[in-house]
Structure 1
Amino acid sequence: MATHTLHTANTRGHANHGWLDSHQTFSFANYYNPERVHFGALRVLNDDFVAGGKGFGSHPHDNMEIISIPLEGVLEHKDNMGNTKIIRQGDVQVMSTGSGVFHSEYNGDVIRPVKFLQIWLFPNQLNVTPRYDQITLKRADRQNQLQQVISPNPDDAGTWLYQDAWFHMGIFDKGFQTSYQLKKADNGIYAFVIKGSFTIDGQTLNERDGLGIADAGKIDITANDDQAELLIMEVPMDIQ
């Protein structure tokens, strides 16, 4: 029988540093909740607002799969692998930090803010050679359907990472119904509402709410608003 773990938007951790306004679904930095450390392999889900011209200076990571999904504005990335990149809405960035990476992230616009989701997954391989990937997807291809944006397979649609995880994004008309079928037995599903409202497995979710679902072969999805936007993350529940 499926089990649900609801994280409403107003229960997330929050840190406002002026230039950075961050809401954290899971324990991160100064926010710690022993009941919200991770959902399976999903370790971090931060909803970040960065003021114009500001950002994160160069800092290290290792043995984590880091995904950035811009929702608004322009994000500039630099790293010690030699990458200098710009990512915008419609892009998905994946960095496998493996044996160690230094990188920085800045708002590429000195006036307008940038809003993006930063997501970390525990990898299924340690100390791999670090890698960077970035793709641009057509938002029209997720209208009233779930568009695959991440998978474990380099030859599959979207980009890939070192974990048996699949990410899908969709934008739906009000009343549109669909379902998501689990790709791998024993994985879990974490649904995050980017915009609008949905009913997922009988649970109503509003903007920036998250729902973890374990022991479910599939989930049923209904959009409650026009142009409602959803991120579905299928991740392993056993990370040992």
Structure 2
Amino acid sequence: MIEVFPAESRYQKDLGWLKVKLSFSFGDYFDPNNTAFGVMRVCNDDEVAAGLGFGPHPHSDMEIVTVVLAGAVRHEDNLGNIKVTSVGEVQRMTAGSGIIHAEYNDSATEKLHALQLWFMPNELGLKPSFEISGYDLADLHNALLPILDPIGSEHTVKIHQDMTLYLSRLDKGKELSFQQAEGRRIFIFTIEGSLTVNESKLDEGDTARIESQSHLSIRAEEAAFLMLIDLP
């Protein structure tokens, strides 16, 4: 089954300094029929004005992943981490037994555009931690590049869950194949451009939640930038 969620179906909020589009229930937006997809709890598409951001606030028992699409985000936490994540990097924060952190647009002049993703960990009460990993943007070209997985490597950040997050930039007309293992779920987000996934069309901003499809054919109907997440 491939269930497509059009871009306009996302809940949107404009606070002036923050423009956010939500794919799942979050904060004061609650839809009892849209709280999760497997272990995935949040997919927020955030635009943050220059020099502004989210002040110190707590989290626990969640894997929080940030993929920077434009600009840079500065992370600060009570573990003593003060780190900046830019385009070509991904960050993972394990909230675990409890952490207090803040996130700000690191630029005084440019907008920050990022995806923030939350996933349930494979174990509660983990030791809080924070990690950044970089990847080569050229490696996204007409390929699915893993940037996050449960093992971690020089070019992937480690997450405490049985899942892998891929990014890809496809030229118009290019096609990728992906095999979905039995019992797994796939989440696809068309960040830019237009895709056909099997027989389903996804335009810019659309997402798809996919189950019980052994084979996926992903074709760029126009030049496209996409995120694919393989999760339980």
TM-score (normalizing by structure 1):
0.94
Q: Residues 141-180 of structure 1: matches in 2 within 5 Å?
A: 141-155=139-153, 158-180=156-178
| Alignment partner of 1:27 is 2:25 | yes
CA distance in 2, matches of 1:216, 1:123: 25
- Residues 49-68 of structure 1, C-alpha deviation per residue, up to 9 Å, x if partnerless? 00011100010000000000
User: 2:214 aligned to 203, 217, 220, which one?
Assistant: 217
Alignment partner, residue 201 of structure 1:
198
Match of 1:134 among 118, 132, 138: 132
Q: Provide the residue aligned with 1:89 in structure 2.
A: 87
Question: What code does the residue aligned with 1:153 have?
Answer: I
Judge conservation of contact 1:151–1:157 (CA < 8 Å) in 2: no
CA distance in structure 2 between the aligned counterparts of 1:185 and 1:155, rounded to whole angstroms: 26
Q: How does 1:28-43 map to 2 (within 5 A)?
A: 28-43=26-41
Q: Percent sequence identity over matched residues? A: 35
For the 8 Å contact 1:14–1:31, the answer to whether it is kept is: no
Aligned length: 232
Structure-2 separation of matches of 1:213 and 1:203: 11
Structure 1 outlier segments of 4+, above 2 Å? 154-157
Counterpart of 1:76 (choices 69, 74, 78) is 74
Structure 1: runs of 5 or more not aligned: none
SS in 1 for 2:32: coil
Which of 225, 228, 231 is equivalent to 1:232?
228
SS at 1:141 equivalent = helix
CA distance in 2: counterparts of 1:230 and 1:58, whole angstroms: 31
Comparing 41-50 with 9-18, greater Cα deviation is found at: 9-18
Counterpart in 2 of 1:187? 184
**2:51 alignment partner, one of 16, 28, 53:** 53
| Whole-angstrom distance in 2 between the partners of 1:157 and 1:21 | 30
Tell me the TM-score normalized by structure 2. Answer: 0.97
Is 1:4 paired with 2:2? yes
Output the CA distance in 1 between the equivalents of 2:103 and 2:152. Answer: 25
SS in 2 for 1:92: strand
Which whole-Å CA distance do the structure 1 matches of 2:93 and 2:3 have between them? 28
